[in-house]
Amino acid sequence: MEVRIQKYLSEAGICSRRKGEEYITQGLIKINGKVITELGTKIDTSKDKIELNKKIIIAKNKSVYIMLNKPVGIVTTCAKYDERSVLDLIKIKERVYPVGRLDKDSEGLLLLTNDGVVAYRLTHPKFEHEKEYEVTLNKNYTKEQISKLSQGVKLFGENTNPTRIKRVNKNKFTIILTEGKNRHIRRVCRKVGLEVVKLKRVRIVNLRVGDLKVGEYRELTKVELSNLIKSLGISTTMMQS
């Protein structure tokens, strides 16, 4: 990809674009060993070597945070030859990866990023960050069934954590998890005699899918990202490391 030198320096965190222009006119920039003084000069970031005062400059990758409303039938893991992955839906130049997983037959909010710190904080079990799901069942549920789910059930030989459940209607409720075993909600519902016919993730920590349509995606707003970083307990130093 070709970009102007001053933009490259700015994205590398070296200086502002204006300061970069000063470096160029002062003859302090070399491209492939040749001094460059023309402000409009562009470089190919994939092959050109850029030097400032004899130091090679390497641009930092831009951190990207994407919110996707994943459709049913799309996988979040590496797709097989006959499957579509969430990465097939995201048309951006930066390389991002899904944070955690959302089953192929489930839909809703999925975060994709190239920020390893944020991904780690969201997925490591020890941090116990909340994820909220809307659960639709094949039949009406009873108070006893919901009570059992709320208290936790035995799954894979271990008791699941207590959960917060809120009634939506007779066959639909929302559930908040701080853990995420494979097909967790479907499995615990079966334990109490309920079958999930639709599962939608509506929230991850402070991020809500809102009115984002199925299959659509967008970058997080500055406010959303700032609130997420605070909720995850990430410091500025950690973001820069």
How far is the C-alpha of 178 from the C-alpha of 233, rounded, in Å?
16
Is 211 considered catalytic here? no
Instruction: Give long-range contacts, CB 8 A cutoff, 24+ apart: 3-9.
Output: 3/42, 3/43, 3/45, 4/39, 4/40, 4/41, 4/42, 4/43, 5/29, 5/31, 5/36, 5/41, 5/42, 5/43, 5/50, 6/39, 8/43, 8/45, 8/50, 8/57, 8/59, 9/50, 9/52, 9/57
Instruction: Say if CB 126 and CB 177 are below 8 A apart.
Output: no
User: Of these residues, 44, 82, 103, 115, which one is catalytic?
Assistant: 103
**Which are the catalytic amino acids?**
103
